[in-house]
Structure 1
Amino acid sequence: MQTAQHILHDTFGYPEFRGKQADIVQTLLRGDNALVLMPTGGGKSLCYQIPALMRDGVAIVVSPLIALMDDQVANLRAAGVHAAAVHSGTPPETVRQLADDIHSGSLKLLYVAPERLVSERFLKFLDNTTVSLFAIDEAHCVSQWGHDFRPEYQQLGLLAERYPHVPRIALTATADAETRADIKHYLKLENAPEFVSSFDRPNIYYQVIEKNNGKKQLLDFIQKQMHGQSGIVYCLSRRNVEEIAAFLCEHGLHALPYHAGLSLEIRQQNQHRFTHEDNVIVVATVAFGMGIDKPDVRFVAHLDMPQSIEHFYQESGRAGRDGLPAVSWLCYGMNTLLLLKERITESQASDFQKQIELQKLNAMFDVCETAACRRQLLLRHFGEQSEPCGNCDNCLHPPAKFDGTEIVQKLLSCVYRVGQRFAASYVIEVLRGKSTDWIVQNGHDKLSTFGIGDNLSDKDWRNVARQCIGLGLLNNDMHNYQALMLTEAAKPVLRGEQTVLLRPLKREKAATKVAKTDTWLRTEREERLWQALRQWRVARAKADDVPAYVIFGDKTLREVVEKLPKNQSDLREIYGMGEAKIGKFGDEILDIVAEFVSGSLNVAQSEKTVSHQHSNPRDDELLRQLTVWREMAAKRDDVSLHAVCPEESLTDLVAFTPEQMVDLNMIYGLGEVKLGKYGKEILSICAPFSGSLNDEIKYKQLFLRDLQEWVAMKAEEAELPEFQILGKPAMRALANKLPETLDDLREIHGFDDEKIAEYGEELLEMIGAFQVA
């Protein structure tokens, strides 16, 4: 374990193991199996990555999404670990290259999709390979009780029979009792110890409000509580995603849509911007998120109620993975509940599966409706008891309750007297004494309950009905137009044997329910260093073409501000500073801190450690003209400035001033739509300045033109979109680094082993020929 501690510190930059990590590592090092349940951001990956580096052979990691694999591989490579991913469709030549790395002992972790792993060809490959361990990530996918059921996961039990002496570890962040039982059964881990960490994410503030003009409520939340922060907004439909993203952009926010109906290129571009930039909001369906490991997401907002507590926990858990304060905000209404119930009942699933999904939906609705601590209810769902958390809206702003027994009795009685055959809207019309043609035709204007609720509004009665469903007194008959039905729990209420407490029917102002503020109160002086480090991180990430968090997370930069390291020895005491990152970035960090301590730090010039570019009259004038043009274009087209082009595009246009239309393809933040609309205008502004580029930038520009022609040719030959050959970020990185070896190519984000095997030699030859020319 002493060696494990050294790897934890020297490779990954963490001072000590957290929770049960050390016990799990020890279990795998002994050669034993394990089942690990650990919350999102709890450090599951380290539990198998460290044993993989210590045991002989290669670790095989099962992961359900290519994006998830690529993200893990990128992080490992940034830490100096040789890792790779292989999935269905990977060319045979890539597999052969990986096999050489595996047999030489250099490749320590190989990420695979489950369907690839269980193929007979891959298993035969493993039969002649030294495997250090099998790690099955997102193990809840094995269970029909789980929220992301994947039938191919159930075949992974064969690993126990075929490789009985290789330790296996199954990991998940969300699994109730039934799902855990399925994981142990299907993966043959009945005798494996369970390591169950607390599911609590104490840094997340939970806030739930009733929907009343959801778009405006969302905008108020972001502007008042989350201004300038990165976040995710989840919507139920693709149409809502598009509308909400456009709405947020109209109000000056950097919002991007993401759903399965968008082209793969647009999805990749938007995901790239979200992971690589600060202060970007992604508006998405649940198609977005599982492959995202961005630690500094400060909020996750649900504009519609999720369909289960598992979905909600996993999606909201994407906030605050760095352990710093974050917010989960949920806006819900009855319409969403009914829509989700309808989707379930009309699906092609078995009756058993439908029953499971309806139970999970009702449990989620209970979380929305509860007046008690929301975290207690969430944790109870996963079998964990806790005290009130003090960090949710109900704890910090307890809702007042009143005796609503008489009101509830009126509603329940009316539901009974109309025969439990009508939806809430009809029942409310009877209660309020509305003599509609339908009510008169049915004779319900003669009922004793007709008009007994005219003292409350439609909105108030809908609130009562929603609370009664949440309390289990009413249910919806999904086979009869969502008709309200009494439950057994309603009988003692109707008989006057049980009191019912309700929350106030008048909606509280959501603005009063705000999250706790970040406890890190920076001084004005500290703020200067904090912003300088963040600007340096963005510049370094762009130069290396990796997400900013792959450079360093906010938690690391925060410790730099607090501890002010003077030398590399001090850096080793900073959270997240492993040897590989100290070697690569240490001097730059120390330079920035030294300038800060001496009082000579200029925040506006903090990128100079990366770019070494300084402002000059030429750049200032071009930036001025581009800024004026952007403001005029935004006013003319009645859109936000960001909708014309982001700030980063202006900076890029100054640094890489385009001369031809093809040059615009490589400008940061300009997609096809913006180029089609504004490309000619941009070129006309840049034309007088393009001849004064320095030789180094001009050289890169010429290379990028050749590279784009090569990509277009390869795409035509393979009958593929160009971005599937090489994306724009990868092309930019090639021009910046001009790699000389295949190992150099591996350092470029976006180049996996498949692409290197397919195009590596040809690209190196092209780079060499260009340099000679």
Structure 2
Amino acid sequence: MDLAAAQQVLKTTFGYDEFRPGQKAVIEQVLAGQNTLAVMPTGGGKSLCYQIPALLFDGITVVVSPLISLMKDQVDALNDNGIAATFINSSLDYATIQSRLQELRAGDYTLLYIAPERLDSQQFIQALGQLPIKLLAIDEAHCISQWGHDFRPSYLALSTAIEQLPTQPQVLALTATATEQVAQDICQRLAIAPDHEVNTGFARDNLDLSVVKDQDTDRYILDYLKANQGEAGIIYASTRKEVARIATLLQQHHVKAAMYHAGLEDNIRRQNQEDFLYDRVQVMVATNAFGMGIDKSNVRFVIHAQVPGTLEAYYQEAGRAGRDGLPSEAVLIYRPQDAQIQHFFIDQSEMDDEHKHRSYQKLQVMSQYANTQGCLQQFILKYFGETSESCGRCSNCRDDREAQDITTNAQKVLSCVVRLHARFGKGVVAQVLTGANNQRIRDLDLKGLSTYGIMADQRQKTVTELVDFLTAAGYLQSVGGQYPTLTVTKTGVAVLKGESQVYRKTAQTVKQAAPVNDALFEQLRTLRRQLAEDQQVPPFVIFSDKTLHSMCDILPENDAAFLNVRGVGANKLEKYGETFMQTIRAYVHQPVASQD
């Protein structure tokens, strides 16, 4: 089977002229019958790597996908494009599952989506054995590796299940985040030859990375959302309590926001996710329970209000912005105390000592990322084993803020920590410096310290933020697990001795994540939302933002021109062409306003 047939399907079914980087190599290997590992960034077009072969193969392609809440969206998108697909998961009753298996045996479907937990059932594996399965595509394949950030025991049944299927289907494993060690582990477990790994690199040229430190989180988020009104985004927090707090804050400021975490009732969680996918709400505030495999292509920003536990998790979650290739932004708001939350999670986990140690190391890497002065993308790529030039786009590469000399205030803080003999955390340090007169300060007899009250002209919160800055910048070190204490580092000692100065940059200002949309784009977006509501599918299932922007560039008024729009195939032309062209024609031919 040659690549020309795949190229034809790419154009006529999916409406694209060219493959994205890596897609051609993966599809060539799959069509040649080779087990393959595809490591491609989020938004890199991994799904086409199995969807196109599925349309060319005789038989069924089974897709293992970890989140059942997303399967319906993926299947809806395929069905909307004229491709016969279905899913089987725990949301269906027994009779429906049996009915779908019967339809699959009758050849009614080309693609079948299942959750990995299905393969824990020997009965289900036997049912799959009756199907002509040609290809097994394993999405989020890093979940199979114990070295990965999101290891899932249910994935371990995959290799056993493959061996039990009579058709011995070939395997395509796909992931966006895999270190060299994780990639080796995937290949070993799924019998993929190392030279059959296709890795397109981890760089996301349309994603601007930013780290924000030493600022009021709530103020920054509210300012950011004001600057990016109408654009869809995700805000991640580490705890359910913080998710609820931020969501309530946004709603009080008239931002259309919903929340998502494992503590919500299933029906509420489902409704909130649907509202976000259907563009009924602008912002989803969530724990890391939300997002794996989310196909919503028009997410313009991802903000981490608290630091996550690993760089892999961060980059995967950040990568949910800009899946359509349009300019987007990923912002990490970093405060050292948030890293302590992750530290606490590790302390309280049931992991063995080896895995805990590995988790502490991964958390340390995350803190190093937040505090690096170098290029943020370069830091991430190096972690994944790639060398690169500076990106020129991240907050460090374009940081031209004015630096202020804060050496005197820094010396006051460092001096206080020394006089407290590294026995206390930042709360007590800030209370001593601002001259607090609470019971604890009196009980500890700290009012007699020479540093007591020497910053009484400042708010305790301001001094605490300064302590955070000095910790993040390496002048102080936070030691311990749940209740860390502060010590002065060698760099801090040099400041105390007057051998070096401390500079702190002025507050970061927010920026708009995406270009300003023109009037036609907004009209097309409104039309798309109306059609989506009528059909009860998410708007991106009909067309992506990138396709709408392509319409605005080409301004198609007939079928031939509409087929030249990126992301429009024959099926989409038939279903939506005339409806969208009516709006475009009305826009193009509207009377020009008089210029008296």
1:514 maps to amino acid: K
- For 1:509, give the aligned amino acid: A
Native 8 Å contact 1:231 1:298 kept in 2: yes
Distance 1:502 1:183, change over 3 A: farther
Q: Which has the higher helix share?
A: 1
1:689 maps to: none
> 5+ unaligned residues in a row in structure 1: which ranges?
603-773
User: What is the aligned residue count?
Assistant: 586
Equivalences for residues 299-448 of structure 1 within 5 A:
299-398=301-400, 420-426=422-428
Residue of structure 1 equivalent to 2:574: 583
Q: CA deviation at 1:514?
A: 2.5
Going from structure 1 to structure 2, the CA distance change for 1:586 and 1:601 (only over 3 Å counts) comes to farther
Deviation at 1:358, TM superposition (A): 1.8
* Corresponding residue of 1:294: 296
Q: Residue 195 of structure 1 is aligned with which of 198, 201, 205?
A: 198
Distance 2:234 2:513 in 1: 19
Unaligned 5+ residue runs, structure 2? Answer: none
| Aligned-pair CA distance for 1:291 | 4.6
Structure 1's 33 and 417: CA in aligned 2 closer, same or farther, altered over 3 A? farther
Q: Could you tell me which residue of structure 1 aligns to residue 230 of structure 2? A: 228
Which one of the candidate residues 230, 237, 241 is aligned to 1:239? Answer: 241
Task: String of CA shifts for 1:486-524, please: whole Å, max 9, x gaps.
Answer: 7xxx5687589x99988733x62322x535652xx66xx
Contact 1:230–1:278 (8 Å) recurs in 2: no
1:176 to 176, 179, 200: 179
Q: Which amino acid aligns with 1:127?
A: G
Relative contact order, CA 8 A, sep 6+: which one is greater? Answer: 2
Q: Deviations over 1:403-456 (max 9, x none)?
A: 999998997787677555432344566788999997898798999xx6499579
CA–CA distance in structure 1, aligned partners of residues 225 and 491 of structure 2: 44
Shift of 1:279: 5.9
Give 1:278-677 correspondences, 5 Å limit: 280-398=282-400, 420-426=422-428, 451=451, 454=454, 459=462, 463=466, 466-468=469-471, 471=474, 474-478=477-481, 481-484=483-486, 490=489, 504-505=503-504, 508-511=506-509, 514-515=511-512, 518=515, 527-599=518-590
Query: AA paired with 1:474?
Result: Q
The 3-state SS of whatever aligns with 2:82 is coil
Secondary structure (helix, strand or coil) at the match of 1:484 reads: strand
Residue identity opposite 1:20 in structure 2 = G
1:641-720 to 2 correspondences below 5 Å? none
Deviation at 1:217, TM superposition (A): 2.1
Pick closer, same or farther for the CA change 1:432–1:554 going to 2, 3 Å: closer
Q: How many angstroms apart in 1 are the aligned matches of 2:251 and 2:118?
A: 41
3-state SS of paired residue (1:384): coil
With over 3 angstroms needed to count, the CA separation of the structure-2 counterparts of 1:333 and 1:493, relative to structure 1, is closer
CA distance in 1, matches of 2:399, 2:555: 38
> Residue type matched to 2:586 in 1?
E
> In the alignment, which residue of structure 2 is the partner of 1:737?
none
Matches within 5 A, 1:738-749: none
Equivalence for 1:253: 255
Among 115, 118, 121, which residue is 2:117 paired with?
Answer: 115
Letter in structure 2 aligned against 1:364 = M
Deviations 1:27-49 (A, max 9, x none): 01111011111111110111111
CA distance in 1, matches of 2:487, 2:331: 31
The CA distance in 2 between the partners of 1:202 and 1:528, in whole Å, is 27
Question: Within 2, Cα distance between the matches of 1:233 and 1:180?
Answer: 29
Taking structure 2 as the reference length, what is the TM-score of the superposition?
A: 0.87
Residues 362 and 159 from structure 1, CA distance in 2 versus in 1: closer, same or farther, beyond 3 angstroms? same
Deviation string 1:603-622 (CA, Å, 9 cap, x unpaired) is xxxxxxxxxxxxxxxxxxxx
Tell me, yes or no, if structure 1 residue 206 matches structure 2 residue 209.
Answer: yes
Structure 1 residues 329 and 550 mapped into 2: Cα distance closer, same or farther (>3 Å)? same
Q: 1:493 to 1:539 in 2, by over 3 A?
A: closer
Aligned to 1:271: 273
Q: After superposition, give the CA deviation of every residue in 1:518-552 in whole Å (9 maximum; x if it has no partner).
A: 2xx66xxxx34323222221221121111111111
CA distance in 1, matches of 2:525, 2:121: 45
Tell me, in whole angstroms, the C-alpha distance in 1 between the residues paired with 2:500 and 2:351.
37
Q: Displacement, 1:383? A: 1.9
Deviates more, 1:391-400 or 1:64-73: 391-400
Superimposed CA distance per residue, residues 559-581 of structure 1 (whole angstroms, 9 cap, x where no aligned partner): 11111113212222111101111
* 1:218 pairs with 2:216: no
| Higher-Rg member (1/2) | 1
Q: Secondary structure at the match of 1:12?
A: coil
Contact map agreement 1:85 1:111 (CA 8 A) in 2: yes
Q: Is 1:133–2:135 an aligned residue pair? A: yes
TM superposition shift of 1:168: 0.7
Query: Could you tell me how far apart the structure 1 residues matched to 2:389 and 2:408 are?
Result: 32
Distance in 2, Cα, partners of 1:384 & 1:454: 48
User: What is the one-letter code of the residue matched to 1:510?
Assistant: Q
Cα separation, partners in 2 of 1:244 and 1:416, compared to 1, 3 Å: closer
- Aligned residue identity for 2:528: R
Corresponding residue for 1:721? none
Match of 1:15 among 9, 13, 17: 17
Structure 2 vs 1, CA of residues 7 and 265 (structure 1 numbering), >3 Å: closer, same or farther?
same
Root-mean-square deviation (CA, aligned residues, Å) is: 3.5
Cα distance in 2, alignment partners of residues 89 and 596 from structure 1: 44
Q: Structure 1 residues 102, 501: closer, same or farther in 2, change over 3 A?
A: farther
Find the aligned partners of 1:391 and 1:230 in 2 and give their Cα distance.
Answer: 21
